[in-house]
Structure 1
């Protein structure tokens, strides 16, 4: 049947593994990601992707802990807001607040794990699916446009681009999330030290727990650095193999 044949073709495309990437591609995509995160204007433009992951982390944690998600807003200054309803204290609220700053790094780590099996198409389509799921919860025009543009780019690459372009895009994106998950934590503490973020996630967590805001900033940083280290080891597999450092 044509429908079954079409679904089978899509499934095979989704689950197929691409060849191992050249070690040079892995290295160059890491360099590009570092350059984007470390450079002011590229970071200012690309940071919105980190904000999407951040707010998505809040939203997912809220739903998983039984809170009612009221909506997500993404702003042109790369800030965002996720509103949920439920108990103002307790584990659900704590996990919801905790999830934001660690989400980009953990998503990057999950992406790195998929790339170790060269599941590039699966990675890209999962990204599109998550963006679509998030889209229905967006409550402002800029947020809708941000998700449509981001999802459209990922979908176009996954469907029309050559395998080489898909690989470069996927590796760069995952490296970017791993490195990009660290910088917002640093920026958070800088703003807090100037008294410019009194309602940050860390400060809200401090009011709900016995631990001070700096402790939670440290937790954010520790998780982000651990995810970066683990993800880098996973992504660097082709380089280590090329250098004869793996069995």
Structure 2
């Protein structure tokens, strides 16, 4: 018998439709189909908001039934919370996650940088006790505010821009983060991305965190294997990448 590992899942959604309230039980892959302006994007954004602890503008979703952990320890073991805890420049503990939910509306005065930058919530010094209390008391809002970003990723029409644009390169001690910074240390994810791009497009892709100063962004080329070796190999690879970009600018 295998060891039980907690995994967040949505068991049932209660939704408002033009035909009344319906129950929907999601499967592993779900496709939302409908004409323009029928509420597809709104439904997905409401789902994102609910699972991030924000129910201020929910109209389609009435209720969500989901798996809940027996204890904080289950969340820790399944989602490796401890390794995502860092101290900011002021010595405060923060849970380093990223949520694709903007802190502000998009308008003519909004910069790309500010729209996709997120401020991370600081946590009490006794953060393990703090998280244990959230789970034990079944405080749904706090549960999703802190742990929600561990359970899902949302990529909408606006968020697609974050993939191809350079963004500010925030350090581990910063209270800010953005889409690219959020997974620059996720080596396994980036390796899988590279492998899939090679398989489909016969090209390589790498997240350049070294040659762009305080920025970071994706680069596409034939092969970036020289950047994925030992420290000395990587140092030589970064120099090679920098020089190739420098020369190509002239």
TM over 0.5: no
TM-score normalized by structure 1? Answer: 0.21
TM-score normalized by structure 2? Answer: 0.21
Bigger proportion of residues as strand: 2
The structure with the larger Rg is: 2
Higher relative contact order (CA 8 A, sep 6+): 1
